[in-house]
């Protein structure tokens, strides 16, 4: 099994992210990108994905639940040891998002949406500022986490999960933290292991029209009891599934 070196683990804990080079081959990445372009254009069809308008490059969400190739990437055995080292135990895979192009998403912390999560952000092409990489604030993983509770209204209701109220609050936290953000520069086949508390955003696409193929996989510790999405499966690296916090695993 692959493992983080002591230096990689120390970097991950200090900065909240670490780049692991060359885990996937160029041929594997090219083949996955082709698959995604073919799905997008309707040359390849799978139940669960509708071919898109040529201008619609919005991310996929939970593609692993309908696409076996995305599932393979989510629980690829080469990722397992790195993820287990990062969280100190067994891991459940919970979410995938595929980006054909940079998301240009506002600042956020993934654990706001998926408590206890951390991620493997896999570069399927060369990724940098030109094609809209992500910008991260090193060390923000050791600072405050904004949660849904921070946005509870005076009448007790929770605010909507998404919106400017949230991204604006993370912008303020970013300023309070006081450290500069840095762009993530990755080569085809690298992946970035990052902490779900790390403040990050999708950068402006400096070369409009450029592609930036990335699969973002999200995980939570197997031992986490914070998973509140009742019908959304937690998937172990052997492919077994369970829902919510029920133990033992239910295989489907
Ligand atoms: O790749 C991106 O542009 C955004 C990724 C992201 O924010 C995430 O995976 O949480």
Q: Total structural domains in the chain? A: 1
- Residue 160: per-residue pLDDT: 84
Residue 246 confidence (pLDDT) above 90: no
Residue 250 confidence (pLDDT) above 80: no
Domain coverage including residue 196: 6-243
Q: Residue of the nearest CA to atom 7 in ligand 1?
A: 201
- Residue 84: per-residue pLDDT: 98
Measured distance between the N- and C-terminal CA atoms of the chain, rounded to whole angstroms: 26
Half-sphere exposure of 146 (CA within 13 A, CB side): 22
Residue 94 confidence (pLDDT) above 70: yes
What is the percent of the chain with per-residue pLDDT over 70, rounded to a whole number? 96
- From the CA of 214, give the closest atom in ligand 1: 1
What is the percent of the chain with per-residue pLDDT over 90, rounded to a whole number? 88
CATH number of the domain within which 104 lies: 2.60.120.620
- Residue 164: per-residue pLDDT: 86
Flag whether 238 is in a domain.
Answer: yes
Contact criterion met (CB below 8 Å) for 224 and 176: no
How crowded is residue 8: how many other Cβ atoms within 10 Å of its Cβ? 17
Residue 42 confidence (pLDDT) above 70: yes
Per residue in 187-219, pLDDT tens? Answer: 999 999 999 999 999 999 999 999 999 999 999
Question: How remote is the CA of residue 151 from the centroid of ligand 1, in Å?
Answer: 22
Flag whether 203 is in a domain.
Answer: yes
Flag whether 150 is in a domain.
Answer: yes
The predicted model scores a pTM of: 0.95
Flag whether 118 is in a domain.
Answer: yes
For residues 213 and 8, what is the distance between their CA atoms, to the nearest angstrom?
24
Is residue 159 very low, low, confident or very high in pLDDT (cuts 50, 70, 90)?
Answer: confident
- Residue 169: per-residue pLDDT: 96
Question: How remote is the CA of residue 34 from the centroid of ligand 1, in Å?
Answer: 21
Q: What's the burial of 42, exposed, middle or buried (CB within 10 Å: 0-12/13-18/19+)?
A: exposed
For residues 239 and 232, what is the distance between their CA atoms, to the nearest angstrom?
14
Flag whether 249 is in a domain.
Answer: no
Flag whether 251 is in a domain.
Answer: no
- Residue 244: per-residue pLDDT: 67
Q: What's the burial of 148, exposed, middle or buried (CB within 10 Å: 0-12/13-18/19+)?
A: middle
Flag whether 252 is in a domain.
Answer: no
> Alpha carbon of 139 to those of 12, 106, 249: distances in Å?
9, 18, 35
- What value does the mean pLDDT of the chain take? 95
Flag whether 1 is in a domain.
Answer: no
Is residue 32 very low, low, confident or very high in pLDDT (cuts 50, 70, 90)?
Answer: very high
């Amino acid at each position: 099994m692959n493992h983080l070196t002591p230096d990689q683990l120390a970097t991950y804990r200090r900065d909240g992210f670490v780049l692991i080079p060359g885990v996937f081959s160029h041929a594997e990445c090219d083949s996955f990108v082709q698959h995604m372009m073919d799905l997008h254009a309707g040359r390849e069809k799978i139940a669960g994905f509708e071919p898109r308008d040529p201008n619609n490059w919005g991310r996929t969400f939970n593609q692993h639940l309908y696409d076996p190739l995305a599932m393979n990437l989510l629980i690829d055995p080469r990722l397992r040891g790195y993820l287990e080292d990062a969280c100190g135990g067994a891991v459940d895979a919970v979410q995938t998002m595929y980006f054909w192009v940079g998301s240009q998403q506002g600042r956020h912390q993934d654990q706001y949406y998926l408590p206890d999560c951390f991620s493997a952000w896999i570069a399927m092409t060369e990724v940098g500022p030109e094609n809209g990489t992500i910008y991260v604030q090193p060390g923000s993983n050791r600072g405050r986490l904004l949660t849904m509770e921070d946005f509870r209204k005076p009448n007790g209701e929770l605010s909507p999960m998404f919106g400017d109220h949230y991204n604006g609050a993370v912008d303020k936290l970013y300023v309070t933290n006081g450290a500069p953000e840095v762009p993530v520069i990755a080569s085809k086949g690298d992946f970035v292991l990052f902490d779900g508390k790390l403040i990050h955003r999708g950068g402006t696409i400096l070369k409009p029209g450029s592609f930036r193929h990335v699969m973002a996989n999200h995980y939570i510790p197997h031992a986490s009891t914070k998973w509140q999405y009742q019908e959304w499966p937690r998937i172990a690296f052997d492919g077994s599934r369970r829902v919510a916090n029920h133990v033992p695993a239910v295989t489907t």
